[in-house]
Amino acid sequence: MTADRVFWALFIALLSDVSALPPSPAKINSFALTKHVRFKHFKFTKKVLFKNAPSSFNDYHEDFNLNLLFVADHSMFEAFHELALHDEFSAQYALQQYLRGVFEEMRVIYNRLIFFKDRRINLHLSGTFIARREDDCPLKTLQGELRKDLNETNFDDDYSAGNDSDSTVMSLSISALDAVNRVHVWIRKFAHLLPFHDHVILLTKFDLLSSRNDSATQGMAYVGAMCALGDSSSVVEDIGGLTTAVIAAHELAHSLGAYHDGSGEAKDCHRTLNYLMSPVASGTEDSRSFANSLLLSQCSTKQIENFLRSKQSACLRKRVASKEKHKVKKAVDIEQTNKIRPGEIFDKNRQCQLAYGPHYGVCLSTAIVVPLSA
């Protein structure tokens, strides 16, 4: 068995037997966050290196740094398992690369956003977790464990991206509100086993249902919950590729304090301008309107800046140590894979299957269908 297979087997075993393990609190010092987890004769160590960072916004004059943990639920694994012709490890490898691809698209989106005239929010991938077993899926959290204090935090409504409800991979459904709270419970339960993170993004193939019990919702997150363990998380319905990344970027902005354009504090920014925080994303042939979908309106920018000034955003005011000083050893195959773009790993035919199901593919016909006149 390869080292990679041993690692995943042990990590899954850790999740299944977590009740027998006492929580291992993080050790914090001036330069690193270190976490130790023991399982039988094995010891896992996770270390993230930082420089000292001031907790006060007024003393901090650099870019903000946000660590994302990507989680793929069991429905995502099943979809990739089918595409990989039921090869379990090929499915896991492909799904992990897909998560990295979605992260990279999100990173590019946020790299274009400027706050306080010259500062950015830099996204970093703290890790990925794939629920290969149904019992490890966050959305399987017992109903009785769900939180009862929902009205303690402001909740924004749903985000619609016009998904085709007939998709073969969206046969299961769950309340978006229920889903995001199940994720909160799961994070708190396994926090001592998960990589250090500021926000968790869970991707699912479940059809997320709105409060009206329709399929318009594609994502859900608390507003202004960044840095709060458990609450700082998003649930995103995987539509495929860039669309999924845009939805995830939208939900992340909610967690950073932004509401929908055209409502509440953002009432002065019209929703039809199609900015990232529009409640409904629509396809358009207008180049400017399309470009807006990857940008924030002035209202959203102001709301996020207000949040970044607050004490609640303290976890983002960290100076990441220089990569040159702290090089991380990587396996050769991972190092080579990282040089390949996601579009090279997932060609257009594979992306079509990820979005609509294994029986779909790119249309090879060049015939033009002309509708009959009435």
* Count of CA atoms in the C-beta half-sphere (13 A) of 202: 28
- Rounded-to-integer distance, Cα 107 and Cα 113, Å: 10
pLDDT in tens, 228-247: 999 999 999 998 878 899 99
Q: What is the pLDDT of residue 10?
A: 37
Is residue 270 annotated as involved in ligand binding?
A: no
Q: Is 254 marked as binding a ligand?
A: yes
| β-strand partners of 235 | 202, 220
pLDDT digits (tens, 9 = 90+) for 308-354: 999 999 999 987 765 544 444 444 444 445 566 666 666 676 667 66
| pLDDT attached to residue 242 | 84
Domains and CATH numbers, the chain: 23-52 (no CATH), 61-356 (3.40.390.10)
Q: Which of 60, 48, 58, 34 is nearest to 317 (CA)?
A: 60
CA 180 to chain centre: 12
- How large is the angle between the packed helices 88-111 and 241-255, nearest 10 degrees? 60
Q: Is residue 36 a known part of a binding site?
A: no
- Per the listing, tokens 């919702």 go with 217
Q: Evaluate whether 269 touches 255 at the Cβ level (below 8 Å).
A: no
Provide the pLDDT for residue 155: 41
Query: Percentage of the chain surpassing pLDDT 70?
Result: 60
Catalytic positions, written as ranges: 251
DSSP 193: T
Q: Rounded to whole angstroms, what are the CA distances from 80 to 85, 171, 244?
A: 9, 15, 16
